[in-house]
């Protein structure tokens, strides 16, 4: 499926978060842009196999809107349970709902590092 076709696979508002670290600019250049295009296409194809439509957003104004919505969503978090061993983070929002995110690196980023500073010999 081409990137254009994957961008047109439905109008659903949701998809799973986490997974690959793609970072960088929204449009990308060269190999980085190709990697982002391949990842978005692959994800849209996987969602289509599950008969669940998804959307791909890479255009600057649409991406800015998505980021603003994500920031507001994250700001509603009142508790976090990070479980690096299973690659999962659970966000608990101020309205009592839970959002479960499967990610290979997010739980590690959220986990508190071990410290041996206060250790007595």
Pairing mode of beta strands 88-93, 98-102: antiparallel
> Model confidence over 26-70: pLDDT tens digits?
444 678 888 888 888 888 888 888 877 778 889 999 999 999 999
Per-residue model confidence (pLDDT) at position 119: 62
Q: d(Cα 52, Cα 77) in Å, to the nearest integer?
A: 27
What's the burial of 19, exposed, middle or buried (CB within 10 Å: 0-12/13-18/19+)? middle
**Which pair of structure tokens corresponds to residue 58?**
């890479």
- Collapse the DSSP code of 81 into the 3-class scheme (helix H, G, I; strand E, B; otherwise coil) and give the result: strand
pLDDT tens for 63-91 read: 999 999 999 999 999 999 999 999 999 99
Q: Give the mean pLDDT of 8-23.
A: 37
Q: Where are the domains of the chain?
A: 1-69, 76-113
Look at the chain and count its residues. Answer: 121
The DSSP element (H or E) to which 88 belongs, if any, is: strand 88-93
Q: What is the pLDDT of residue 32?
A: 80
- Mean pLDDT across the stretch 93-102? 95
> What pLDDT score does 79 carry?
96
């Amino acid at each position: 499926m081409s990137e254009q076709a994957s961008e047109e696979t439905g109008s659903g508002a949701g998809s799973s978060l986490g997974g690959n670290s793609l970072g960088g600019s929204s449009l990308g250049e060269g190999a980085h842009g190709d990697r982002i295009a391949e990842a978005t296409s692959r994800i849209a194809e996987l969602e289509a196999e599950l008969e669940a439509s998804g959307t791909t957003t890479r255009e600057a104004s649409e991406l800015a809107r998505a980021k603003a919505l994500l920031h507001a969503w994250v700001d509603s978090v009142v508790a976090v349970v990070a479980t690096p061993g299973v690659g999962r983070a659970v966000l608990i929002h101020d309205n009592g709902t839970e959002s479960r995110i499967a990610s290979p690196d997010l739980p590690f980023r959220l986990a508190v590092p071990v410290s041996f500073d206060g250790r007595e010999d």
